[in-house]
Amino acid sequence: LTASIKALKAELSKRIVKITFKKKDGSITTRNATNSPNYAGNFVNNRGISSDARNVVSFIDLDAVGNKWRSFRYENLISWE
């Protein structure tokens, strides 16, 4: 993991982060995201393959109706704040 990805994951676990990344279709998107237990607790089921094993950042998309899980590959991260 790069330092930027590690820092992003640490911040996602604590607060809402604005992330910009390239989607599979090549378009660029910006999302308000978090993995804070205050938001993500109801969505965690501890099944499946770890996102780190797949080289992706998984997050709860607070802009999606119903706060859906989303993910993107490490190399597609453009920025976060």
Give residue-wise pLDDT tens across range 14-24: 999 999 999 99
DSSP for 2-44, please give it. -HHHHHHHHHHTTS-EEEEEE-TTS-EEEEEEE--HHHHGGG-
Which pLDDT value is given to residue 41? 62
Q: In what order do the strands lie in the sheet with 77-80?
A: 68-73, 56-61, 28-34, 17-22, 77-80
pLDDT band for 69, please (50, 70, 90 cuts): confident
Give residue-wise pLDDT tens across range 6-42: 999 999 989 999 999 999 999 999 999 998 877 766 6
Report residue 44: phi and psi, to 5°.
-95, 125
Residue type at 10?
Answer: A
